[in-house]
């Protein structure tokens, strides 16, 4: 992984870069390694240091984040970078309490940075580590109820020395050997002391409480393009879903959305719905399109050469694909 510093590098005196550790940990929140790699490499190429990121334009960072999801992370990323640059001289603090006081850094992320970047004996408990702890100790209490118990068990194993290497090793153990469905117990270095393996219940652990059924909300997205080829777009408010991201004007998202056209023109249904799933609900968007030369009552007209669909979050990109197909038909 591009953000890792190996034990061999450490022996040669190559220290971990707290900026890269922090950036990767924020990106990895509720996101897979496979999805994060390309974004991490793009960010570090554009902004090699935390000070570079702090000086970046909000719109550029939000555009670079587009498609990675959980967009509050990108807003907090900028806030945190600016605090580190302005209040700490571009150097991350090296204690957990100060790290956790930074914007967007919670208990898990502060522990991960403290352990991996500064080798402090902090306990890192992600989903992989939870699974390892539940299995080796045969913890049958379901998640999320079991989190405090699993944290206590993980803390008891955290060493005082090489805590960063240990944290990454246990996370890797969960990611590559102690996997959710098909654990490779024959290769596990902890198999002999694993109570879950001894009881034959390792695959069943950790147990989880039943998930609640996600509700479905609806909404309307409006895509307007004028004769000059300009697109009507808006920057969403900082608060709420997709905050600060570029998108199409639209209605509220609810069981019974209220139409909110951004211009008094002839709107036509695109003929296809957009479906997208967020963490807590499913969304169905009706797409309305128009080719009109008007002054909109909301949003901004963006020239075609300045509009990049890749800057849109995933759900808005789906809307664009539907609208583009309709425009091409006409």
95 and 195 belong to one structural domain: no
**Bond before 158 cis per omega within 30 degrees:** no
Number of H helices, E strands in the chain: 13, 6
* β-strand partners of 217: 283
Per-residue model confidence (pLDDT) at position 297: 81
Per-residue model confidence (pLDDT) at position 83: 97
The crossing angle, in degrees rounded to 10, of helices 127-136 and 147-157 is 80
Helix (H, G, I), strand (E, B) or coil at 199: helix
325 and 315 belong to one structural domain: yes
- Nearest Cα to 26, choosing from 91, 82, 61, 76? 76
| Domain end marker among 156, 183, 211 | 211
Token pair of 74 as six digits: 């990108």
Instruction: Report the alpha-carbon distance of residue 160 to residue 184 in Å, rounded.
Output: 29
71 and 42 belong to one structural domain: yes
Per-residue model confidence (pLDDT) at position 279: 86
Name the residue range of residue 68's domain. 1-122
Element (H, E) at 274: strand 268-277
| Domain end marker among 122, 150, 182 | 122
291 and 309 belong to one structural domain: yes
324 and 248 belong to one structural domain: yes
94 and 188 belong to one structural domain: no
114 and 131 belong to one structural domain: no
Instruction: Report the alpha-carbon distance of residue 70 to residue 49 in Å, rounded.
Output: 23
CATH of the domain at 300: 3.90.79.10
Instruction: Report the alpha-carbon distance of residue 322 to residue 325 in Å, rounded.
Output: 5
Cβ atoms of residues 220 and 249 within 8 Å: no
- Nearest Cα to 42, choosing from 311, 238, 239? 311
Element (H, E) at 108: helix 107-118
pTM of the model: 0.80
11 and 108 belong to one structural domain: yes
117 and 181 belong to one structural domain: no
Number of domains in the chain: 3
Instruction: Report the alpha-carbon distance of residue 265 to residue 223 in Å, rounded.
Output: 11
| Distance, CA of 273 to chain centre | 25
73 and 163 belong to one structural domain: no
Per-residue model confidence (pLDDT) at position 215: 95
Active site residues: 25
6 and 109 belong to one structural domain: yes
Instruction: Report the alpha-carbon distance of residue 114 to residue 164 in Å, rounded.
Output: 8
116 and 34 belong to one structural domain: yes
CATH of the domain at 181: 1.10.1670.10
| Domain end marker among 179, 211, 243 | 211
Per-residue model confidence (pLDDT) at position 71: 85
- Nearest Cα to 289, choosing from 254, 246, 329? 329
330 residues of the chain, pLDDT tens digit each: 888 877 778 778 888 899 999 999 999 988 888 899 999 999 999 999 999 999 999 989 999 998 888 888 999 999 999 999 999 999 999 999 999 999 999 999 999 999 999 999 999 999 999 999 999 999 999 999 999 999 999 999 999 999 999 999 999 999 999 999 999 999 999 999 999 999 999 999 999 999 889 999 999 999 999 999 999 999 988 878 888 888 999 999 999 999 999 999 999 999 999 999 998 999 999 999 999 988 888 888 999 899 999 889 999 999 999 999 888 877
């Amino acid at each position: 992984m591009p953000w890792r510093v190996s034990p061999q590098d450490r022996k040669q005196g190559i220290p971990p870069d707290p900026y890269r550790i922090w950036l990767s940990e924020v990106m990895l929140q509720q996101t897979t390694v496979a999805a994060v790699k390309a974004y991490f490499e793009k960010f570090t190429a554009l902004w090699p240091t935390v000070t570079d990121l702090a000086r970046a334009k909000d719109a550029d960072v939000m555009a670079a984040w587009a498609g990675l999801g959980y967009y509050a992370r990108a807003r907090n990323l900028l806030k945190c970078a600016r605090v580190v640059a302005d209040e700490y001289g571009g150097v991350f603090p090296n204690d957990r309490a100060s790290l956790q006081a930074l914007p967007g850094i919670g208990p898990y992320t502060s522990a991960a940075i403290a352990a991996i970047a500064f080798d402090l004996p902090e306990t890192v408990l992600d989903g992989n580590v939870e699974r390892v702890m539940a299995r080796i100790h045969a913890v049958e209490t379901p998640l999320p109820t079991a989190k405090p118990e699993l944290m206590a068990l993980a803390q008891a194993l955290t060493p005082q020395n090489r805590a960063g290497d240990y944290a990454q090793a246990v996370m890797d153990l969960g990611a590559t050997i102690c996997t959710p469905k098909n654990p490779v117990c024959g290769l596990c270095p902890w198999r002999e002391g694993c109570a879950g393996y001894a009881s034959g219940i390792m695959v069943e652990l950790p147990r989880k409480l039943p998930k609640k059924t996600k509700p479905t909300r609806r909404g309307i997205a409006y895509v307007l393009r004028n004769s000059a080829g300009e697109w009507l777009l808006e920057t969403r408010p900082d608060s709420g879903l997709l905050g600060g991201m570029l998108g199409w004007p639209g209605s509220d998202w609810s069981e019974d959305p209220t139409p909110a056209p951004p211009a008094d023109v002839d709107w036509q249904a695109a003929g296809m719905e957009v479906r997208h799933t967020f963490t807590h609900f499913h969304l169905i968007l009706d797409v309305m399109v128009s080719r009109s030369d008007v002054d909109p009552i909301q949003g901004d007209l963006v020239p075609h050469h300045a509009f990049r669909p890749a800057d849109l979050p995933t759900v808005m990109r789906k809307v664009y694909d539907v609208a583009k197909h309709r425009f091409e038909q006409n």
